[in-house]
Chains A and B, each alone.
Chain A
Amino acid sequence: MGARIEVENLRIVAGDVGLVHDISFTVEPGQVLALIGESGSGKTTIALALMGYARRGCRIASGRVRVGEVDVLTLAESGKRALRGRKIAYIAQSAAASFNPSRRLLDQVVEPALLHGVLERAAAERKAIALFRELALPDAETIGQRYPHEVSGGQLQRLMAAMALIADPDVVIFDEPTTALDVTTQVEVLAAFRRAMRERGVSAIYVSHDLAVVAQMADSILVLRHGRMRECASTVQILASPADDYTRSLLAASRIGERAPDVSAQPSAMPLLEVTALSAGYGRVRDGKCEHPVLEDVEIQLYAGQAIGVIGESGSGKSTLARCIAGLIAPAAGTIRFGGHPLPATLAQRDRETLRRVQIVFQHADTALNPAHTVAKILERPLAFFHDMDANARRRRVAELLDLVKLPATLAERSCVGLSGGQKQRVNLARALAAQPDLILCDEVTSALDPVVAAAILDLICELRREVKASYLFISHDMHSVRAVCDAIVVMRYGRKLAQIAREDYARGPHHPYYEQLARSVPELRTGWLDEVLAARPAPTGVFVP
């Protein structure tokens, strides 16, 4: 049964820096409270403190945490250990990193029950199998005999939930459990989680940065920023009438409207980029077919000034498409024509002018910027390399570029190490713009960012579309962001292009069933969305034969 959670004046510090300031909240038995905020807001730190745990270098300075009848923070280490996994269970964001890759799943799932002496091994295994069935895992009897790499990400996340629930905890902490999953998988996992929670009546803390997901799962929401509580109210109230400015900005960021850049692509007779019957993959190539194909028979036409979104789940081949166009992967078959001329397959065969005209922007700005260089050096290199500018001209152009991506000019002399995620992504875009390309390949540029920051980057891209003459291939798994900036959407699955839908037709259906499924799976910012999706669904889901 669920326990009451009471947190009073919790304060957590790292050295002499405060991470979490005076947080107080109460969760009634059987209720779900969501902790929401951007990265660094202290939400995971608070969730871990409920188990009396502080990460290395952090310390719980003061405050009180009561779970049921237990005062967690005053317990000795042995007492806390008895609590963890038994009374309070934790489900981490990356299930793949939380399972031991060299042990069978069942052995790991029953571990909490054996460790705390709750059940005998045989009984624990029976219970685990019952849980697998309850969480809608396929082959419940035998899935436990597999190793972590033999099941999918969504299944692994549910197996982790089974591990958390096996000792019948009173409280479950979900730490961004679906952030790493594709939208269609996310729906399944959320549904499984919610059913299991409701049947047991356990109390839960749900940590997330996604308001739309939280709206489906939580009874009340606590909004955090910089370790301080901004607002705490019921989910309905937060969504309908937020009291705090920051909450309002979070809501606005989650309700990404179509930014509709009014640049209508000047329809020219010849497409800028024409991909015909493109196949690519890994392994040996035989008669134009790869041993392990990733892309098959993909066709795309992109006109100058146009932005096309490529959407698909992980493994759909969308990044491989971008890499083929960029010259990083040689296609096995098919042609890529750029500006009327065939694009050579590999980088070494392309001349400097061709390289300049196609620029790629990667997802993780952390790894896309050289930590040893300053912002100015990063931006000046393409200027010197492609445009042979002298030092003065470069300096002026760097200032212009920083202005274009809305960064202060003073940033130029800073190393890119100290920049925030959003600032890094702007520098990343500015570097691509420095080359004055005709085509910019954006590979999941907003996926690693917080919603508010991601919304700002999308705004920037829309503005750039107006100000800079370039075409975009915008790759993403996020339907919202693709719809926000693109003139057309290409839907990919299993390495094939399924459909292409123009902006004018977004609302007009019916479209390809897989596109419809994807669109339906994007959580909406209202309570009850998940119930509607589950109710409206035809019986066996997720099965689609191309």
Chain B
Amino acid sequence: MNASVPARSASAASARRRSGVFGLGVPGTLGLLVILAWLLVALAAPSWISAGAQDIGGLPVFAPAQIGHWLGADYLGRDMLARVLLGARYTVVVALVAAVGASAVGTGFALLAAVSGGWLDTVLSRGMDTLISIPSKLFALIMVAAFGTSVPLLVTTAAVIYVPGAYRIARALAVNVAALDYVVVARTRGESRWYLMLHEVLPNIAAPMLVDLGLRFVYVVLLLASLSFLGLGVQPPAADWGTLVRENLGALWEGGLAVVAPALAIATLTMAVNLVVDALPGRDARKAVR
């Protein structure tokens, strides 16, 4: 029975993994398609949309959906569809790059700390503790005051703010893995620190770190929205989706599309990211161990 049960679940898992693109399964593939669609929008929207679509007062304030203006108008009478499509650039690119950057840097430092131990671990951990103790909004304020606002600065700021969180989770996971016998065996073989980090430890903490990435992405979207609220984020008339939700809050009372549409856009993107993360291969194999 012991031999047959894992074999069964393993074959079932591999059968499941074979379906869909890159073996992601149906939900994962769906999520991937949504992400790719939004990325395409983010890159192509500026060339699709005519300059006139952004004119203030072209339509009545909070105009309902109509032919030619499928999502109605915003609080200044601008075409909402154009606003959402143009906003994709900021939300998708800025949030995704910042979240991936934060996770990658955090995980990298965590692997280094866990595999090295000793003073390097202490220095890195205390450094991260220092960083985490600075309030994120305050940190963003200082960055903006010092360097002005720009998209690269926003990405960097958001990434730096979320590095310590990713680091702490990754280090907690990596320290446990680094103490296991297979890492000790690799050490007695004389493997380099680099090999231990990338080949022995990383594959075994990748799955939870990707889940963490999905969560962190949502945080970054929220951070961008709140920075825009303070006037420190993406500068008007450009707006990310979080800003669109906030500036059109007035439409909430009538259930207007102007506030629902960007909210739905955020929801589809975050759900898509999490669907892909959940469907990544290796999760079944890891579950089978436990």
Task: Write the residues of chain A forming the contact surface with B, with a CB cutoff of 8 angstroms.
Answer: 17-19, 39-40, 42, 226-227, 326-328, 347, 350, 352, 355, 358-360, 362, 364, 367-373, 381-382, 385-386, 415, 417-418, 420, 431, 435
A228 (CB) vs chain B CBs: closest residue:
B1
Q: Which among B5-13, B23-31, B136-144 touches the partner chain?
A: B5-13
Partner of B1, one of A42, A367, A369: A42
- For the complex of A and B, list the 3 residue pairs with the smallest distance between their C-beta atoms, beginning with the closest: A372-B203, A40-B2, A368-B181
B206 (CB) vs chain A CBs: closest residue:
A372
Q: Does B268 contact A (CB under 8 A)?
A: no
Contact A226 B1 (CB under 8 A): yes
Task: Write the residues of chain B forming the contact surface with A, with a CB cutoff of 8 angstroms.
Answer: 1-8, 10, 180-182, 184-191, 199-200, 203-204, 282, 285-286, 288-289
Q: Beyond A372-B282, A417-B288, is A385–B189 a contact (Cβ under 8 Å)?
A: yes
Contact B204 A372 (CB under 8 A): yes
Whole-angstrom distance between the alpha carbons of A462 and B59 in the complex? 88
A354 (CB) vs chain B CBs: closest residue:
B190
Main secondary structure on chain A at its contact with chain B?
mixed
A residues near B189, Cβ cutoff 8 Å:
355, 381-382, 385-386, 435
Contact B187 A347 (CB under 8 A): yes
Whole-angstrom distance between the alpha carbons of A281 and B289 in the complex? 34
Whole-angstrom distance between the alpha carbons of A381 and B196 in the complex? 12
Contact A385 B191 (CB under 8 A): yes
Main secondary structure on chain B at its contact with chain A?
helix
A residues near B282, Cβ cutoff 8 Å:
372
CB distance from A427 to the nearest CB of B (A): 11
Whole-angstrom distance between the alpha carbons of A326 and B187 in the complex? 10
A227 (CB) vs chain B CBs: closest residue:
B1
Q: Beyond A369-B182, A370-B200, A371-B285, is A420–B187 a contact (Cβ under 8 Å)?
A: no
Whole-angstrom distance between the alpha carbons of A34 and B15 in the complex? 41
B residues near A372, Cβ cutoff 8 Å:
203-204, 282
Contact B188 A347 (CB under 8 A): yes
CB distance from A1 to the nearest CB of B (A): 37
CB distance from B126 to the nearest CB of A (A): 24
Q: Beyond A370-B182, A370-B204, A372-B204, is A420–B2 a contact (Cβ under 8 Å)?
A: yes
Contact B190 A347 (CB under 8 A): yes
CB distance from A38 to the nearest CB of B (A): 8
Q: Beyond A370-B204, A420-B2, is A431–B187 a contact (Cβ under 8 Å)?
A: no
CB distance from B54 to the nearest CB of A (A): 50
Q: Beyond A362-B181, A372-B204, is A418–B188 a contact (Cβ under 8 Å)?
A: no
A residues near B6, Cβ cutoff 8 Å:
417-418
Add 17 more A-B contacts to A370-B200, A382-B189 (CB < 8 A): A17-B5, A17-B8, A19-B1, A39-B2, A42-B1, A226-B1, A227-B1, A328-B184, A347-B188, A350-B190, A367-B181, A368-B182, A370-B199, A373-B203, A417-B289, A418-B6, A420-B3
Contact B204 A326 (CB under 8 A): no
B7 (CB) vs chain A CBs: closest residue:
A418
B residues near A352, Cβ cutoff 8 Å:
190
B191 (CB) vs chain A CBs: closest residue:
A385
A residues near B190, Cβ cutoff 8 Å:
347, 350, 352, 355, 385
Most buried by A among B180, B204, B285: B180
B residues near A371, Cβ cutoff 8 Å:
204, 285-286, 289
**8 residue pairs A–B, Cβ–Cβ below 8 Å:** A18-B1, A328-B188, A350-B190, A360-B185, A364-B181, A370-B204, A373-B203, A435-B189
Whole-angstrom distance between the alpha carbons of A364 and B2 in the complex? 17
CB distance from B286 to the nearest CB of A (A): 7
A residues near B185, Cβ cutoff 8 Å:
360, 362, 368, 431
Q: Beyond A42-B1, A364-B181, A370-B204, is A355–B7 a contact (Cβ under 8 Å)?
A: no
Whole-angstrom distance between the alpha carbons of A369 and B204 in the complex? 12
Whole-angstrom distance between the alpha carbons of A367 and B185 in the complex? 10
Contact A326 B188 (CB under 8 A): yes
CB distance from B146 to the nearest CB of A (A): 42
A416 (CB) vs chain B CBs: closest residue:
B182
CB distance from B176 to the nearest CB of A (A): 11
A423 (CB) vs chain B CBs: closest residue:
B3
Most buried by B among A328, A372, A418, A431: A372
